[in-house]
Structure 1
Amino acid sequence: MSLESDNMQSIYWNENCTVFWHGISMADQAKYKSGFSYVGSTVKATGHAYMYGSRIMRRARDDIYFYNGGLPAGSTIYKWDMVYSYATAHAIPSLPLLIPGHRYYFRMLAEADVPDGLFLRLIAYNREDVMVKLQIIRGKSGIFDFPQEASYYTVELVGAGCHEVIFHRIDVQEIQDESEIDQLDFEKMHQENERRRWLAAQVVDSYLGRRE
């Protein structure tokens, strides 16, 4: 198997930040609550943040500050949905596409105010929106075998007693077995991916400039 950098993908906190709960209308509060709560199909939004009582600031693309002094343990701080229907959700996928039957290594880059204060919860579903697998990744990394019968999945950043979080990103790399993990240079792969993203953005800007 090739361990080239284009195999690795990164997951970012994509939701608009610097949000304030106070002053939001009751209708919008209900909308945020229902959007945050898991309801089954993941084609309804690109992401859900725990907004009630939270202070969330985007300091950089890979530097999100989250604080909630009353966050209950076990709460989902942020949830990523794999949106695959633009007509339904009016959004592009916020998660890497995984191949059924393949194995992936998830590596979380984040800090919390208490040791082991965060974990990842990965849930896979089939085409009928029925859950076929739920896996907890404790600590900062773990392996996720995407089931053969799975069609899509969600990723949840879950608090385990923490109240303050600095989130950077989650790196996802396909592997064959655990022995390959030590061979991965994630920082080099991330830098190469960022370089490619920058080059792609330059191409888009150049194209849009010519059209104006």
Structure 2
Amino acid sequence: MIDNKYIVNWDSIDKNTFMYGSCIEFDKGVMFENLLMPSGTVIHEWFMTSQYFSTRLVPSLPILKRGYHYKLEIKVESTPKNSVYLKIKFYRRYKSIIDSMTVTTDDFSFIYPEDAYEYSIELLSASVERFYFEYMTITEMRHSS
């Protein structure tokens, strides 16, 4: 049974966007091109929480429930194929990392840790030259009893 589905967009350039040598166009999604970006570079990052008065960023990820199962899906087409991936980081209350997961497929299931206070998602390069990012979805999964 599917309970809640959240759509996560990338709709602006901010301090968490890799801009050096990048060409970025926003339409219904994001067309990104950078022929010289090294592998492992964080291209963009989304957060569940933010300190608006210091960062001027609004949180872009939904609040997740501890212990619940979720499915993360990404709609992205890259050149070369499969040259972008995601990294999910789970944090305790004062930003120490509990766990992180690297996602190299278009969909991935995970359990939000019981002791997590917040999380972030990074979009990383695996020697990508260009890609079109449409959106991500985070779906709460429940099994009927």
Change (3 A) 1:49 1:84: closer
Shift of 1:119: 1.0
Please say if 1:143 is aligned against 2:109.
yes
Shift of 1:86: 3.7
- Write out per-residue CA displacement over residues 81-113 of structure 1, whole angstroms, 9 at most, x where no aligned residue: 222444444443210111111111000000001
Question: Superposed, which structure 2 residues align to 1:28-177 within 5 Å?
Answer: 35=15, 48-60=16-28, 63-176=29-142
TM-score in terms of structure 1 length: 0.63
RMSD over aligned CA atoms reads 1.8
Shift of 1:116: 1.4
Please say if 1:14 is aligned against 2:11.
yes
- Write out per-residue CA displacement over residues 135-178 of structure 1, whole angstroms, 9 at most, x where no aligned residue: 0111111012111100001101111121101000001101146x
Q: Which amino acid aligns with 1:10?
A: I
Identify which of structures 1 and 2 has the higher relative contact order when contacts are C-alpha pairs closer than 8 Å and 6+ apart: 2
- Separation (CA, whole Å) in 1 of partners of 2:81 and 2:53: 42
- Separation (CA, whole Å) in 2 of partners of 1:91 and 1:117: 27
Q: Which amino acid aligns with 1:128?
A: Y
TM-score in terms of structure 2 length: 0.90
Q: Which amino acid aligns with 2:5?
A: M
Gaps of 5+ in 1: 17-31, 36-47, 178-212
Change (3 A) 1:59 1:140: same
Q: Which amino acid aligns with 1:107?
A: E
Runs of 4+ in 1 over 4 A off after TM superposition: none
Gaps of 5+ in 2: none
Contact 1:83–1:91 (Cα < 8 Å) also in 2: no
Contact 2:89–2:97 (Cα < 8 Å) also in 1: yes
- Separation (CA, whole Å) in 2 of partners of 1:91 and 1:158: 20
- Separation (CA, whole Å) in 2 of partners of 1:157 and 1:102: 23
- Separation (CA, whole Å) in 2 of partners of 1:112 and 1:57: 15
Q: More helix per residue: 1 or 2?
A: 1
- Separation (CA, whole Å) in 1 of partners of 2:72 and 2:110: 7
**Partner SS state of residue 13, structure 1:** coil
The alignment of Structure 1 onto Structure 2 pairs a total of residues equal to 143
Q: Select the structure of larger CA radius of gyration.
A: 1
Q: More strand per residue: 1 or 2?
A: 2
